[in-house]
Chain A
Amino acid sequence: MLVYGFINSVILMMIALGFSITFGISRVANFSHGGFYILGGILTWYGLIKLGLPYFLSAGLSIIIVGIIGAVMYRVVLVRLRGLELSEVIATFSLGIVILELLRGLGVFGYEFRNPVFIDGSVEIFGVGVGIQRIIIVCAGAVLLLILHVFVHHTKMGLAFRGVAQQEHTALSVGINPDQVSMLSLAMGSIMCALAAVLILPLGVISVDEGYDILIKALAVCIIGGLESTLGVLVAAFIIGYIEVLTSMYISSSLTSVIPLACMLVILLIRPSGIFGKSKEIEERV
């Protein structure tokens, strides 16, 4: 249980990280997250099965394509709507629905749509059999978090990112182009989203409804953790991850997706800004 809760938590973290990064830097809530996730998975599937590309090439390509789509979405659509939060939400939400429902219309449904695992087999940790794919996910999650930390805190571009996140006007006055940074942040969020898709989707079947689930999970984790904090995402992912596993073990496996959301509502009642989101408490919430 401990092991599965841990793995579950890392999966949740990877799903939520892309959303949180984009929001933290550019203040764009990317509601097409679920769409990008499924798109990443299905592109990999297409490259692998239909075009016969090698696995890693196809996965890499699909990650890059999704990243480019994210950047293009910013350049074409969002740049005209900057500052109009409501319009941003509606635009990204509608784009996400376009992607998901288009895929549904094109017949993405059923067991044929699944990516193979990277390496078959399982190992035993604390007496529990764990598939190698899950181990890879955990390692990748840790590496991703590390890279992200180094990137944000020890590179010039990371500094620019943080600058825009803190105060856009000041960043502009010291020569950072906020539009460019926001575009990059959207591309980065999309890339992480696709990366998560490539790593996690081999565990199950690619389905359109999964896209909505992913969006909701990402939102739940980010809201519980506080929207602009990476640490919050990490902690919230672990809270929800373990709650999910506990629910499926002791209560009912069909309620796994309900209980975390109920927890979210309770947390909202007690602490509207999430566990770690105190900086914007007055600005964003009443």
Chain B
Amino acid sequence: MSTERRRERIDRPIKAVTDDIFCLSSMREIAYLVIPRILPIVGLLLLGFLVPTYWRKVIVITFIMGMMALSWDFMASCGLTSLGQALFFAIGAYSSAAVNHYLGLPIYLSIPLGTLIGAIISTACIYPALGLRGIYFSMVTLIIPLMLMRVVETTGILGGTEGITGLTHFPGMFITTTISMAALWATFFGLRRLIDSDYGHIFVALKDNDRAVEASGLSIRWFKVQAIFIGSAICCFCGAFMTHYYMSVGMSAFAVDLSIFPIAASVVGGMGTLAGPLLGAIILGPLSEALRTFGSFRVVIYAALLGTFIVTLPEGLFPYLARKYQQIERWVEAPGGISED
């Protein structure tokens, strides 16, 4: 009999029975659990406030993109895979800009209002497509932003091709960084708590088995509407924030790279984990800034990265790293050749 070897994976002995009960017996073991949770928060705090001004701008953009990725991941976990996340961004950006420009409301009113109005409009736009599932939904979400872009372009409403300029700016860089970072963590922990709650289980069930949801006497469509509302509200906030950050809004809010970035971040980091997209955004954000000189090749690199990851590491970086961190791996003899477990 040929002896082949297989890789055996054993959980580190610190874990007892379930995933969230641990036996801790030393500071080292406490550190083992605490450090991966504290490190990103402290790391981002230090990064956000200590780096030079130019890179601070990059970090703010990264935070916002991280929120977009989180929102994409949340919607994807509800079975609503969107290929047009730019739609929500643009709607949020335009509604906040309109509120600020035409009604003259101050910035601390226009961003929340823009978020709320934007989320309502986005939900209304997506509503016809909510009867669809899987790739059919993706196809429609790909179409809608381009359609709205044409509408804005041809009718000339909301500034047409030039967009709206001269919006109120944030009072200072410190506030900008603080708001974006607070919003990022609020989104992350909020969504994680939401997904883990009973209410959130319904959203996950929409993806896994929507007929079970219907059989439980819950309306699929109504819960999809809620999922879209939550997801799009996050993106609308990003849009509203970025409009005021750039002090203008234009056709570029509908651009393809805004749709492709959240997907790329989620796929690179690991879909359906929430922490994964965040990790992906933190890697891809500065990377895309570094690639800025390449112009349109930037999108090529994104897309190529996306394709490579989905073929070679479909689970994503975060689950991969988490596995490496939490399990001991060793090679053992496997008589007859058993596949990896």
Chain A positions near chain B (C-beta within 8 angstroms): 29, 31, 77, 80-81, 84-91, 93-95, 97-98, 101-102, 104-105, 212, 215-216, 219-220, 223, 227, 252, 254-255, 257-258, 261-262, 264-266, 268-269, 272, 284-286
**Residues of chain B contacted by A81 (CB below 8 angstroms):** 310-311, 314
In angstroms, Cα B136 to Cα A265, docked, is: 12
Number of interface residues of B (CB under 8 A): 45
Q: How far is the CB of B77 from chain A (nearest CB, A)?
A: 11
Of B34-42, B294-302, B327-335, the one contacting chain A is: B294-302
In angstroms, Cα B214 to Cα A101, docked, is: 42
Q: How far is the CB of A93 from chain B (nearest CB, A)?
A: 6
B132 is an interface residue with CB less than 8 A from chain A: yes
CB <8 Å contact, A89 and B297: no
CB <8 Å contact, A86 and B134: yes
CB <8 Å contact, A89 and B220: no
Known contacts A97-B260, A98-B307, A257-B150: A90-B136 contact under CB 8 Å: no
Contacts beyond the supplied A268-B129, A286-B221: 10 A-B pairs with Cβ under 8 Å: A85-B134, A89-B135, A90-B307, A93-B142, A105-B296, A212-B146, A264-B143, A265-B140, A285-B136, A286-B133
* A101, A227, A258: the one within 8 Å of B151 (CB): A258
**Residues of chain B contacted by A257 (CB below 8 angstroms):** 147, 150
**Residues of chain A contacted by B133 (CB below 8 angstroms):** 284-286
Main secondary structure of the interface of B (DSSP, over half): helix
Closest to B126 in A: A265
A-B contact pairs, 30 of them (CB 8 A): A31-B142, A81-B310, A81-B314, A85-B134, A86-B76, A87-B314, A88-B135, A89-B135, A90-B306, A90-B310, A91-B307, A95-B307, A98-B307, A101-B303, A104-B296, A105-B296, A212-B256, A216-B142, A216-B143, A223-B140, A252-B154, A257-B147, A258-B147, A258-B151, A258-B154, A261-B143, A265-B144, A268-B132, A269-B131, A285-B133
**Residues of chain A contacted by B304 (CB below 8 angstroms):** 94, 98
CB <8 Å contact, B135 and A29: yes
Q: How far is the CB of B313 from chain A (nearest CB, A)?
A: 12
CB <8 Å contact, A102 and B83: no
CB <8 Å contact, B131 and A268: yes
Closest to B264 in A: A94
Closest to A258 in B: B150
B138 is an interface residue with CB less than 8 A from chain A: yes
CB <8 Å contact, B147 and A261: yes
